[in-house]
Structure formats: structure tokens, C-alpha cells
Amino acid sequence: MLRSAHSNSRQSVALLAVALLAAALVPPAGSGQSGLRREGGAWSRTFAGTMSAQSKLRIEGHGPVALEGGVAGEIRYTVTVSVTASNEAEARRILERMLLRVVTERGMATLIAPGGRALSTVSVKAPRLDAAMVSTSEGGVDARGIDGTLSVEAVGDLNVDRVGGDCNLFTGGGDVSAGQMGGSVRCTTRAGRIEVKSAKGEAILTTDGGDIVGGQMGGPVRAHTGGGNVHIVSAAGTVNATTGGGEIQVDRAAGAVTARNILGPVTIGGAAGVQCENASGAIRVGNIMGPMRVSTAMGSILANLAGSRIADSLLATANGDITVVIPSNVGVTVRADNESSDTMRRIVSDFSTIRARRQGTHLVAEGPVNGGGPVVQIAAAGGTIYIRRQR
């Protein structure tokens, strides 16, 4: 009798485990699934249902995913599963094995869409979310209205907006578009454009090939592209921008700007300091409130000191002109050196305190402007050095 009771107990536990697993692999009560629909050579079936409100949500998809938070009292989902088949019978056999998994436990709701041969299109409307995690093996993601943190991993275009916390976005190939971000932002794409309209925290933006645009950035910015333009409109901290070929433009930065460009121009409209290295391309800087270290192997340099309060600085080019524009309210000491001395016109100065003279094989000029101040060293291997008075 004892052995029989023990055997019955084990069977009951096994049956309970099977029942729980089956419950997790089908839509819960109150949900349903449609019949088969045919679209071209594909057949599809749609699951629709609800889950109780949870503070966290995880979605695993195998196709496009759309998520909107803060718009429902419970989690409402629609999942359309599509397969390619030669006839309805084959499609039905395949789709019968494509099960949707829906689980809620410990404040976390999880939705796992069928994969394999199937393409699953997921749409979710959710209540307020403290955290959302979305991943898909095929297709892009559209997520918005997340009060807390957001993590996305996909292989297509990413569109996110109204995220209150930190945001981590990755796509294996596609554009990334981010609207209003309430925390730090990390965006990575293997090939595509990145645009962030606003972020309150640090932004790390990386693409192997494509443009990067940062709007109103509330913290430091690091932007790297293997080949494309970088444009930062405003940053409340430092900016570190690099590109393998394109234009770097920083309109305004509260911190120092570090820019490296292999092939293309650099323009800095205002910063707490500049460190710029170009392999080839012109450089323009202005409204600098700190030291300048600017060099290009091939290209001209224009530094307008209007609105600036600079420290000791260096401007250097191996092949190109250098122009420094000095207003009447900025005092500096200029030290200019041009390796080309074929003519005295290789250094042109509007100031009587700075006159060119030959020194060995170089042409040099040195002197104070507006009473003197921080030293601005100007070095050219070819081209002309212009020291201009702001008109």
C-alpha cells in the first residue's frame, strides 16, 4: 500500500508539472487565436490576449516588435505568426507547433513569440513600466512611453521615444532614432544612422558606418562612426567625436571638445576647450573658453577668438593656411613659425607689434596683441599664416 501511494504521488507531481508547462505555452484565459489567413505564399495565425499589470516586461520576438507603455490598465498583446507553406494543410501542421509563451511572476511579465521557420509580429500595449527588455532575432523595434529603463537588441531599425530612465539600444543593422530620453543613452548599430533628439544623461553613440546627430544633450557625449558625419547641437558636458570620413560639427559644448577626423572638416562653434586632430580636412573653431590644441596634416585652420577666453594654445598644419582673428578685447601673445620662407608674405599681420622676420630657413613672428596674454603658437609647414584684427 505504501509503495502504491508513493507511486501515485510521483505521478501526480509529474502530471502537475506537465500541466504548468502547458499553461505557460498557450495563451491564458481571456485570450484567443484566429483561424488561418493566407497572404500570398504565407499563412498566418494571430494570438491576442492579456496579462495582469507588472512593473517589468520582457519580450522575445522573431520579427518586428511594437511596445507602448503607460496606455493600458493591463498588458494587452497581439502576436501574428506567419509561415511559408505550399498549402493550407502544411501551414496548419507547422503553425500548430508554433506556441506562444506567456508568463507572469514576481513583478515580471514575459512574452516569448514563436521562432524557427516562423516570423512573429508582436504588438503590446502596457501600463506604467519600471523596466522593459526587448529582443528580436529578426526585424526592428518601436518602443515608447517607458517610465523606467529600456534595453533593446534587434537587427533592424530602432525607434524609441519618451523613455524616463537609462536606455541601451543595439541593432545588428539599421537606423536608430531616439526622441526624448530621460537618462543616459547608449546606441550601437553595425551599419546605420543614429539620431538622438534629447537626453538628460551621458550619451554613447557608435556606428560602424552612418551619420550621428545629437540634439539637446544633457551630459557628456561620445560619438564614433566608421564613416559618416557627426553633428552635436548642444552638450552640457564634454564631447568626444571621431569619424573615419565625414564632417564633425559641434555647435556648442559646456565641456571640452575632442575631435579626430581621418578625412573631412571639423567645426567647433563653442566649447570649454578644443583638442582636434585631422589627417585631412579644414578646421574652424570659435568661442573657445580654454586651451586649443588643433592640428591637421592637410587643410586650413581658422580660429576666431571673438567671444573666447583662451589659455595657452597651439595651431598647426603641415599643408594649408592658418588664420587667427583677434578682437580688441582679447589679449594674447602670438608666436608664429612658418617653414616656408620663400617670401616675407608667408606671415601676414594686421598688428604692428607682430612683424615677420627670417630665422634660418624659417619665417617667424612674435609679439603681444592687446597688451599680451596667453600664448598662441602658430606653426605651418606650407601655406600662409594670417594674424587678423577683427573688423
Predicted local confidence at residue 32, as pLDDT: 61
pLDDT band at 4 (very low <50, low <70, confident <90, very high): very low
- 3-class secondary structure, 89: helix
Residue 2 predicted with pLDDT over 50: no
Residue 346 predicted with pLDDT over 50: yes
CA torsion sign for 22, 25, 31, 32 is negative
Residue 143 predicted with pLDDT over 90: yes
Predicted local confidence at residue 58, as pLDDT: 98
Amino acid at 147: D
What stretches of 314-355 show up as alpha helix (H) in DSSP? none
CA distance 346 to 326: 19
CA distance 236 to 250: 12
pTM of the model: 0.89
pLDDT band at 292 (very low <50, low <70, confident <90, very high): very high
More confident residue, 56 or 33: 56
CA distance 322 to 286: 14
* Cβ count within 10 A of residue 218: 19
Task: Decide the pairing of beta strands 101-105 and 56-61.
Answer: unpaired
The CA-based angle 373-378-381, given to 5 degrees, is: 170
Residue 3 predicted with pLDDT over 50: no
Predicted local confidence at residue 382, as pLDDT: 85
Predicted local confidence at residue 7, as pLDDT: 44
pLDDT band at 34 (very low <50, low <70, confident <90, very high): low
20: exposed, middle or buried (C-beta count within 10 Å: 0-12, 13-18, 19+)?
Answer: exposed
What values do phi and psi take at 2, rounded to 5? -65, -40
Predicted local confidence at residue 33, as pLDDT: 65
Q: Report the candidate in 179, 176, 183 with the shortest Cα–Cα distance to residue 200.
A: 183
Q: Report the candidate in 57, 56, 55 with the shortest Cα–Cα distance to residue 66.
A: 57
Chain-centroid distance, C-alpha 121: 26
Return mean pLDDT, the chain. Answer: 91
